[in-house]
Structure 1
Amino acid sequence: MSLLAVNKLQVTVADKTLLRDINLSLNAGSITAVIGPNGAGKTTLLKAISGDIPCRGDIKFAGQPIYHWEAAARARKLAILSQHNSLEFAFTGTEVVSLARGPHSTGTRIDSQICIDAMSAMDVLHLAGRLYTTLSGGEQQRLQLARVLAQIWRAEDAGERLLLLDEPVTSLDMGHQHQLMRAVRDFAATGVAVLMTVHDMTLAAAYCDHLLVLKQGECVASGSAQSVLTESLLAEVFATEVTVITHPKTGKPVVIGQ
């Protein structure tokens, strides 16, 4: 049984259909990337699954309708990183990450160690004592991901876990983009199902198990990177010519713009 199952999902706002008949399933330990042009409905999909916007259709998490989970229980199982995470208070890095442990009652000692482990995974432990408002955009982004990882860090706290990430590599340099994706890959391997939106298709191909392609609110392709990232499909979806080659070391697709 899939950890997350979405069937015939539809989102309509002010008589405009933003998503139509979206179906997807996620298994524990897997990463699915949602790709598509601006306005295709990628962020809307994550918001619908997390309950931030109303929708129609069937969304089941661990075999139950996701909205039937009591709020605190759901917060122990589902964590989401939005595109924009504004925080104007002068919290330290540690304080930002520790906010994630609110839904749990695991105690100060365990929570502190989880925050340290999550910050280490995102290579931001050196920012523990720094004020969040003094950090660069990339440093803030990595701290925010450490926060959402800390929220669902341990399976023994809540069982099944789902991680939703909306453009997590935004504002990161190339090195930290790969570091973040490796951290997400390692985290998924602990039994977490991950759904993320990604603009960089080569990065998605390198680290994700499954790709879902959206165009104008509809799914136009779904499958492995090798089956989805074809020159003809990408030209149709993004209205531009691309070249797709095979990476000489990994064998994964590499998308090159003209």
Structure 2
Amino acid sequence: MNSLLHGRWPLPAAWRSPTVRPSPMPAQAPSDTGIQVRDLRVERQGRTLVDRAHLDVAPGTVHALVGPNGAGKSTLLSVLAGETRQNHGQVTWSGRPLDDWCPNALARCRGVLPQEAVVTFPLTAWEVAEMGRLPHRTPEQDTPIVHECLERAGVLHLSGRDYRSLSGGERQRVQMARVMAQVYETGPQRPGVLLLDEPTSALDVRHQLRLMELLRTDAARGRAILVVLHDLNLAAAFADCMTILEGGRVADSGAPRDVLVPATIRRVWGVDCVVETDTHTQCPWVRLRYGTPKPQCELEASP
């Protein structure tokens, strides 16, 4: 069963190599079958967390949402997940306002990975991943689907472990298997969406690359993927489109090569940098300038 399941959707050989970065797909035009956010505003306790935000996430693309701490990224994602109500504006998915969707129907095509998923019960990693199948009520199909998703996330060997005993990175990968199992049946004819809030925050470099490769594979299956990231280079290497939030507003949005420019990065993050082009992938590469130059007198006094 292992080889049969894994062979259905094989990972491209180039992506399996840790030394090769996949080139992002060309950015696509906004589609009425994806996610559309129009003039969104969210206010809480007299503070505006998101202000007049516009966003389009087309099926078949990875869209990275970036910005400094407190920029409104998680709030925007929470609105799209249906956990937070906006004060103004509209969110549509697949051409229909989010409020018009039946919650059960939405749960069958939309997976949400929050920053932290707390599990207090003694559940195994398998049982946590299997939660993604609850909206479907297809017990005869769930076992092979959960098996495949745990394998794709690289945590099948942890299936029998108590979820609470896992490391932070292992938990993130199990949660990734859960959302993949939730949207398993979606594809070009039945669009799906993944909303991921900092899914790489607890992962080492190898597993960060593997998770982003999984997102590229899922996007190729016709899903719309919106992912919050802090690593600009990771976003540039794997995203088709990037949106920068600054103080709750969209500072810029477009292809990574158009959005990641030194002037914008200095203004939004307050850091000095150089943006180069990776000679292998042709993706933009942000090189931060750390520290400050030594005064000339110290340089002359050095042996």
TM-score, reference length from structure 2? 0.82
Equivalent position SS for 1:155? coil
Q: Does 1:72 align with 2:97?
A: no
- Which of residues 140, 148, 151 in structure 1 aligns to 2:182? 151
Q: Tell me the residue number matched to 1:209.
A: 240
More strand as a share of residues? 1
Amino acid at match of 2:173: R
Q: Which runs of 4+ in 1 moved over 3 A?
A: none
Measured after TM superposition, the shift of residue 160 of structure 1 is: 2.0
The match for 1:117 is: 148
Shift of 1:159: 2.1
Q: What's the CA shift for 1:4? A: 1.1
Instruction: Say whether 1:58 aligns with 2:113.
Output: no
Q: Which residue of 2 aligns with 1:133?
A: 164
How far off is 1:251 after superposition?
A: 0.9
What is the match of residue 9 of structure 2? none
Shift of residue 117 of structure 1? 1.2
1:100 and 2:143 matched: no
Matched residues, number: 256
Q: Residue 167 of structure 1: which of 184, 198, 205 is its match?
A: 198
**Which structure 1 residue ranges, 5 or more long, are not aligned?**
none
Structure 2 partner of 1:87: 119
Larger displacement relative to structure 2 (29-38 or 242-251): 242-251
d(CA) in 2 for partners of 1:83, 1:155: 24
Deviation at 1:88, TM superposition (A): 1.9
- Cα deviation per residue 1:61-110 (whole Å; 9 max; x = unaligned)? 1111112111111111111100011112221111110011110022x231
Task: Give how far 1:181 is off.
Answer: 0.3
Match of 1:196 in 2: 227
Match of 1:218 in 2: 249
Query: 1:88, 1:229 → 2: CA distance?
Result: 40
Residue 244 (structure 1) aligned with residue 248 (structure 2): no
From 195, 217, 240, the counterpart of 1:186: 217
**Residue 49 of structure 2, aligned match among 4, 13, 18:** 18
Residue aligned with 2:121, SS? coil
Q: What is residue 9 of structure 1 aligned with on the other side?
A: 40
**What one-letter code is carried by the residue in structure 2 that aligns with 1:71?**
P
- Distance of 2:266 and 2:52 partners within structure 1: 23
Q: Which residue identity does 2:272 align to in structure 1?
A: E
Q: Secondary structure at the match of 2:141?
A: helix
Whether 2:274 is the aligned partner of 1:233: answer no
Q: Distance in 2 between matches of 1:120 and 1:6?
A: 34
Shift of 1:212: 0.2
Alignment match, 2:20: none
| Structure of larger gyration radius | 2
Give 5+ residue unaligned stretches, structure 2: 1-30, 290-303
Query: How much has 1:14 moved relative to structure 2?
Result: 1.2
2:295 alignment counterpart = none
- The amino acid across from 1:77 in the alignment is C
Percent sequence identity over aligned pairs: 37
CA RMSD of aligned residues (A): 1.2
- Cα deviation for residue 247 of structure 1 reads 1.1
C-alpha distance after superposition, 1:109-148 (max 9, x if no partner):
3111111111111111111111111111110110011101
Tell me, in whole angstroms, the C-alpha distance in 2 between the residues paired with 1:240 and 1:13: 29
What amino acid maps onto 2:102 in structure 1?
E
| Distance in structure 2 (CA, Å) of the matches to 1:101 and 1:94 | 11
Per-residue CA deviation, residues 165-185 of structure 1 (Å, 9 max, x unaligned), is: 000001100000000000111
Separation of aligned partners in 2, 1:135 and 1:102:
23
Q: Using the alignment, how far apart are the partners of 2:108 and 2:157 within structure 1?
A: 27
- Name the amino acid aligned to 2:69: N
For 2:113 and 2:80, locate their aligned partners in 1 and report how far apart those are by CA, in whole Å: 13
